[in-house]
A and B are shown apart, each in its own frame.
Chain A
């Protein structure tokens, strides 16, 4: 009961999630974990870096693709996964399944996280690497920060790397 986020005299729990991947299937783990934390009253900080910038980029947020190439977990032979149209089909199937389960698309999920009080930041180094500016990011992202800033913000938090 000590860490249930209800603040019974103890510090509320906090989690920090580093989102470094940009495929559709790898965007969700970080978002779902952050949302689940918020639902329990646990503070959540998300740090989007490298390919994870696609999740929070205005251009790419709702255009993420399922990562099936080079992914042995799809139970599909590698050569088939790389054929034209396969990635789009897998993406379409994944989105359809999410919809059936009422799991929101990525853009809406970020809105939910903002409403739920999760803090979201973009990695400055990655932004420079990809030549991006804050205006290129969805409005839910609070700021562009450095790795050291992230460590300040995630002090006392359990950190999860996705």
Chain B
């Protein structure tokens, strides 16, 4: 666990690079986390996924798995891998300021 400065703020980060406190998240932090993962800029489609992830996590208490994201947003599986090429399963949650999803699919 450590504190990092991101977008001018002190953010609590876990050892795995995921934010510990989703309330500290801002759109600027999302952009910075995305840049670290090689995604720049975040397009409207990215934001569609990120917004859903945050909404869903607030409701369900955990980040959605990729399959749930595709089913609920209509973004296809293929698109998810285009949007987050280095691993949509972890990146969608990471950039959304959430913990790793528990889902295996």
Query: What CA separation (Å) do A4 and B56 show in the bound complex?
Result: 25
User: Which residues in A have their C-beta under 8 angstroms from that of B81?
Assistant: 38, 115-117
Distance from A98 Cβ to chain B, minimum over Cβ atoms (Å): 10
- Which of A1, A6, A102, A103 contacts B87, CB < 8 Å? A6
In the complex, which residues of chain A have a beta carbon less than 8 angstroms from the beta carbon of B85? 41
- Tell me, rounded to whole Å, the shortest Cβ–Cβ distance linking A53 to chain B: 23
- Interface check A42, CB cutoff 8 A: yes
A42–B76 alpha-carbon span in the complex (Å): 19
Number of interface residues of B (CB under 8 A): 21
Interface of A is mostly: loop
Indicate whether A39 sits within 8 Å of B89 (C-beta atoms), given known contacts A102-B105, A112-B67.
yes
Chain B's closest residue to A113 (CB) is B77
A5 interface residue, CB < 8 Å from B?
yes
Report if A39-B88 is in contact (Cβ < 8 Å); known contacts: A1-B17, A32-B105, A102-B105. Answer: yes
Tell yes or no: A105 within 8 A of B by CB: no
Confirm or deny: B34 has a beta carbon within 8 angstroms of a beta carbon on chain A: no
Residues of B within 8 A of A (CB): 17, 37-38, 65-68, 71, 76-78, 81, 85-91, 104-105
Sample of 12 A–B contacts (CB below 8 Å): A4-B90, A32-B104, A32-B105, A35-B104, A36-B104, A36-B105, A38-B89, A39-B66, A40-B89, A102-B67, A112-B67, A112-B77
Q: Which 4 A-B pairs have the closest CB atoms?
A: A39-B89, A41-B87, A115-B77, A41-B86
